[in-house]
Amino acid sequence: MDTSKLRYTETHEWVSLNGNLARVGITDHAQREISDVVFVELPKPGALLKQKQSAMIVESVKAAFDIYAPVSGKIVKINEELGKRPELVNQSPCEEGWLFEMECSDLKEANGLLTEEQYQKFKTQPTH
């Protein structure tokens, strides 16, 4: 996947836009921080979410982590393979380990997401 075309959130989700369809996953940086993913609680198709609302949970050997909707919209597809193979989130976070797809209700929200360059700077900043 060409990561230069992705957009990112400050909570380490990535978004690949194709028209008003957004494919969502967690970044490579996030999967390393989370460590070994053992379970994913995927959202229900048809669920309506607002931007920054918790969409699902990823559980690792460390803890459970909320994954947030990067844009507002409706869940239209989930990566069902993760039910059998949650480790794909670690092994291939930007390709096979994607989490869900949503139909964006407001594409302008995507304009406020971080570019690859902005995300690289953001993730290296010390947390306060």
Summarize pLDDT for 47-66 with one digit per residue, the tens.
999 999 999 999 999 899 99
Q: Token pair for residue 102?
A: 């949503």
DSSP E strand stretches across the chain: 7-8, 13-18, 21-26, 37-41, 48-49, 54-60, 64-68, 73-78, 100-104
Predicted confidence band at 123 (pLDDT cuts at 50, 70, 90)?
Answer: confident
The reported pTM is 0.93
pLDDT at 44 over 90: yes
Q: What is the pLDDT of residue 128?
A: 44
Q: Which CATH code for domain 3-124?
A: 2.40.50.100
CA gap 58, 105 in Å, rounded:
25
How many other C-beta atoms can be found within 10 angstroms of the C-beta atom of residue 127?
Answer: 3
Predicted confidence band at 3 (pLDDT cuts at 50, 70, 90)?
Answer: low
